[in-house]
Structure 1
Amino acid sequence: MSTLQLSLAIIGGLLLAGIVAYNTWTSRRNAPKRAVPQEAERGTAGSGAASDRLAEPALRQDPGFDGGGGVELTPGELQALDRGTDPLSEHAVDPTEALQMPVPSFSVERRPGLDPLIDVIAPLQPEHVVSGDAALSALPPTRRAGSKPFAIEGLNEATQQWETPAPGQRYQSFQAGVQLANRMGALNEIEFSEFVVKVQAFADAINAAPDFPDMLQEVARARELDQFASDHDAQLAFMLRARQAAWSPGYIQQNAGRLGFVAGAMPGRLVLPATSAAGLPPLLTLGFDTAAALADDPDQSAIRDITLSLDVAQVHRSEQPFARLRDVAKALCDAMDGVLCDQNGHPLPAMAMDPITADLELLYDQLDGRDLSAGSVLARRLFS
Structure 2
Amino acid sequence: MSNLQISLAVIGAVLLALIVAYNAWTTHRNAPRKAQPPERDASAEPAQRLEPALDESEASVPTVSPVHGLDRGPEPSIHGVDVDDALHLPVPPAHASPERWFQLDPLIDAIAPIVPEQPVSGEAALAALPPTRRAGSKPFAIEAFNDASGQWETPVPGQRYRAFQAGVQLANRMGALNEIEFSEFVMKAQAFADAINAAPEFPDMLQEVARARELDQFASDHDAQLAFQLRARQAAWSPGYVQQNAARLGFVPGALPGRLVLPAGTAGQPPVLGLGYDTQAALSDDPEQSAIRELSLSLDVAHVARAEQPFARLRQVAAALCESMDGVLCDQNGNPLPAMAMDPIAADLEQLYDQLDGRDLSAGSPQARRLFS
TM, length-normalised to structure 1: 0.84
| Offset from partner CA, 1:18-54 (integer Å, 9 cap, x none) | 00000000010011111111237x79xxxxxxxxxxx
Aligned to 2:320, which of 324, 327, 331? 331
- Secondary structure of the residue that 1:123 maps to in structure 2? strand
Supply the distance in 1 between the matched residues of 2:69 and 2:291 (Cα, whole angstroms).
Answer: 33
CA-based RMSD = 2.2
Q: Is 1:58 the equivalent of 2:60?
A: no
CA contact (8 A) 2:112 2:201 kept: yes
- Secondary structure of the residue that 1:223 maps to in structure 2? helix
Change (3 A) 1:67 1:249: closer
Structure 1 residue 79, shift from structure 2 partner:
9.9
Partner of 2:361: 372
Q: Is 1:208 the equivalent of 2:198?
A: yes
Structure 1 residue 59, shift from structure 2 partner:
1.3
Supply the distance in 2 between the matched residues of 1:124 and 1:5 (Cα, whole angstroms).
Answer: 104
Partner of 1:14: 14
CA contact (8 A) 1:57 1:262 kept: no
Structure 1 residue 192, shift from structure 2 partner:
0.3
CA contact (8 A) 1:123 1:174 kept: yes
Q: Is 1:134 the equivalent of 2:124?
A: yes
| Offset from partner CA, 1:147-203 (integer Å, 9 cap, x none) | 000000001233332111001111111000000000010000000000000001100
| Offset from partner CA, 1:177-235 (integer Å, 9 cap, x none) | 00000001000000000000000110000000000000000000000000000000100
Q: Is 1:170 the equivalent of 2:160?
A: yes
If asked which structure has higher relative contact order (CA below 8 Å, sep 6+), I would say 1
For 2:64, the aligned partner's letter is L
Supply the distance in 2 between the matched residues of 1:61 and 1:342 (Cα, whole angstroms).
Answer: 23
Change (3 A) 1:210 1:111: same
Supply the distance in 1 between the matched residues of 2:166 and 2:210 (Cα, whole angstroms).
Answer: 19
Aligned to 2:282, which of 285, 293, 299? 293
Instruction: Give the share of equivalent positions with the same residue, in percent.
Output: 75
For 1:241, the aligned partner's letter is R
| Offset from partner CA, 1:235-272 (integer Å, 9 cap, x none) | 01111111011111111100000000000111111000
30-39 or 117-126: bigger deviation: 30-39
- Secondary structure of the residue that 1:38 maps to in structure 2? coil
- Secondary structure of the residue that 2:35 maps to in structure 1? coil
Change (3 A) 1:272 1:196: same
Change (3 A) 1:67 1:302: closer
Q: Is 1:31 the equivalent of 2:31?
A: yes
Structure 1 residue 286, shift from structure 2 partner:
0.4
230-239 or 152-161: bigger deviation: 152-161
The within-5 A match list for 1:78-93 is none
Partner of 1:351: 340
Change (3 A) 1:205 1:61: farther
For 2:247, the aligned partner's letter is G
Partner of 1:95: none
State how many pairs are aligned. Answer: 339
Supply the distance in 1 between the matched residues of 2:295 and 2:66 (Cα, whole angstroms).
Answer: 24
CA contact (8 A) 2:271 2:304 kept: yes
Supply the distance in 1 between the matched residues of 2:137 and 2:322 (Cα, whole angstroms).
Answer: 40
Aligned to 1:248, which of 238, 243, 255? 238
CA contact (8 A) 2:65 2:255 kept: no
- Secondary structure of the residue that 1:39 maps to in structure 2? coil
For 2:289, the aligned partner's letter is Q
Supply the distance in 2 between the matched residues of 1:69 and 1:60 (Cα, whole angstroms).
Answer: 19
CA contact (8 A) 2:79 2:344 kept: no
CA contact (8 A) 2:72 2:175 kept: no
Supply the distance in 2 between the matched residues of 1:61 and 1:37 (Cα, whole angstroms).
Answer: 29
- Secondary structure of the residue that 2:220 maps to in structure 1? helix
- Secondary structure of the residue that 1:260 maps to in structure 2? coil
Q: Is 1:228 the equivalent of 2:218?
A: yes
Aligned to 1:68, which of 67, 70, 73? 70
Aligned to 1:191, which of 181, 201, 222? 181
Aligned to 2:115, which of 125, 129, 135? 125
- Secondary structure of the residue that 1:331 maps to in structure 2? helix
CA contact (8 A) 2:82 2:332 kept: no
CA contact (8 A) 1:185 1:226 kept: yes
Change (3 A) 1:171 1:146: same
Supply the distance in 2 between the matched residues of 1:112 and 1:20 (Cα, whole angstroms).
Answer: 64
CA contact (8 A) 1:56 1:262 kept: no
CA contact (8 A) 1:237 1:309 kept: yes
Change (3 A) 1:309 1:79: closer
Partner of 1:273: 263
